Structure 1
Amino acid sequence: MVELYRFTHKAIGPINNNSAGNNVSAPGNTVPAEINLPNLTMFSTILFMTEFRQMGMGDSVDVSKACNMSEWYRRLYQGAIETPQSDSDPYVDVLTLPAKPVSESGIIYATTSRPVGQDVSKEAFSSFLFAIHKPSFAKTIPTANNGDTHRMPLEAEALVASKGVTHIWLCGSDPEQRRHRLMSQCLAQLEQDVLEWKANGQGSGVLTVHTIPKAFPGMVQFLTKNGFVGGDKVIGGDSDKVLYWKVL
């Protein structure tokens, strides 16, 4: 049994997504105690440490710089605003800060799994997608052998110039539960929210994501299968980092 949750700087809540036909059960009004940001942060840290070790990078990548509570809380409230961050910075509870539109901050979608026939009160995270707001479209240069060149519609370009983009910053699934469409459920809910923000004049309706094809070929397949285009090199990013985008 799979549950879907939405995390924002304001609250955590379950999502009834049965209408999408994705086997997400109808959740109740209460959120189990283990469905919280600290547990999700721990899940992501373990997930990415395992990924990098499998890639042969060992512990040379400091996953904790991104997957720690202070960083996740900061991005949930501030989106992509870059501010100096260190382990000695005081912890700030975003719930004590002034309210701001979710479309201008960060938002997380996470799925949990509960084995059928076992304690239904216990849920474990199985996937997550963390999206943040960016004020502009990343600058890129054409990548050799990238195939077709895709041009963003002029209307979308104008909206991006004034509204920015919704950028998928981090996402991942439990290796043992991949190919169960868990990430597809998270993405579908994100797209639904982005379309709502666009209709309300709060967003551009444009999604972006960076990835490294050599390291994550499965991510490229997932993106293209879900209508993303692109593949050009990100200027100022890692040597192999490319940009994919989608206009909703």
Structure 2
Amino acid sequence: MVHMYRFTHRMIEVIQDDNAQDNKTVVPAEVTLANLTMFSTVLFMTEFHKMGMGDSVDISKTCNMSEWHRRLYAGTRKQASNTSREDEDEYIDILTLLPKPIPEAGVIYATTSKSPNDASDKEKFTSFLFAHHKQSIAQTIPSLPSQGASIDKLSPETQALISKLGVTHIWLCGSDPEQRRHGLMVQCLNQLEKDVYTWKSSGQASGIITVHTIPQAFPGMVHFLTKNEFQGGDKVVGGDAGKVLFWKEV
């Protein structure tokens, strides 16, 4: 039994519940941002150990509550008249801010599994996809032309939308190794695309989804992206060694 949830800066919603009756669904106590953070941290620690990078990568720096909260509010910076460069990464507490449209903030889609034969069994996270708003697309240089068109090949109309509305950027995503090849990440991506299409239709988003990855380290991610009609593969200027950009228009 698989359930899907949408996390935003204000709430957690059930967006897929096969056993729901009369559209009444309840979010279990174990489905929280804190537990999702723990799941993602363990997931990435396992991945980097497999890659031979081990503890040289500080996963806790990325998968921590303050960083996730910050990105769920699209990195709203403190407003100060004399902001030094050192202060650019300081952020306000999102709990003090007014509600903000999700297209301008961040959203997480997560799937959970639960045994249908055991009523006492708790839901366990199996995959997640974290996307947030970016005002612009990273600069790139050609590196993998065989993967598809470069981002600068987009129509002038779409480029104008990007300049005005930015893009929806997939920052982190991952699946439980034991649950891979079950289409869980595809479910998360499909839901993101539905939401981005809705936002675009209402004039709140450009309809462009971007993601960075490192093909040498995550070849499976490149296969997943190209299989789901992402284009690109150009090297990100100033990014980590080997980091490339993929994109999709919905």
Q: Same fold (TM over 0.5)?
A: yes
Aligned to 2:129: 129
Pairs within 5 Å for 1:94-113: 94-113=94-113
Which whole-Å deviations, capped at 9, do the CAs of 1:126-179 have from their partners, x for residues lacking one? 000000100011110010564544421222111101100000000000000000
**1:79–1:133 CA contact under 8 A, matched in 2:** no
Q: Which amino acid aligns with 1:219?
A: M
Aligned-residue offset at 1:11: 0.5
Q: Which amino acid aligns with 1:25?
A: D
Paired positions, count: 236
Distance 1:207 1:26 in 2: 31
Distance 2:141 2:112 in 1: 38
Aligned to 2:80: none
Pairs within 5 Å for 1:97-176: 97-119=97-119, 122-143=122-143, 146=146, 148-150=148-150, 151-176=153-178
Aligned-residue offset at 1:83: 4.6
Aligned-residue offset at 1:187: 0.4
Aligned-residue offset at 1:239: 1.2
Please give the TM-score of this superposition, normalised by the length of structure 1.
0.90
Distance 1:32 1:64 in 2: 25
**1:114–1:120 CA contact under 8 A, matched in 2:** no
> Are positions 1:177 and 2:170 aligned together?
no
**1:79–1:132 CA contact under 8 A, matched in 2:** no
Distance 1:178 1:79 in 2: 31
Aligned-residue identity in percent: 61
Aligned to 2:62: 66
> Are positions 1:29 and 2:29 aligned together?
no
Distance 1:189 1:147 in 2: 24
Which whole-Å deviations, capped at 9, do the CAs of 1:175-208 have from their partners, x for residues lacking one? 0000000000000000000001101110000000
Q: RMSD value over aligned CA atoms?
A: 2.0
Aligned to 1:84: 89
Q: Which amino acid aligns with 2:174?
A: G
Distance 1:83 1:226 in 2: 36
Aligned to 1:20: none
**1:5–1:111 CA contact under 8 A, matched in 2:** yes
Q: Which amino acid aligns with 2:50?
A: Q
Aligned to 2:195: 193
**2:51–2:217 CA contact under 8 A, matched in 1:** yes
Aligned-residue offset at 1:95: 3.8
- Partner SS for 1:78: coil
Q: Which amino acid aligns with 1:45?
A: T
Unaligned runs of 5+ in 2: 78-86
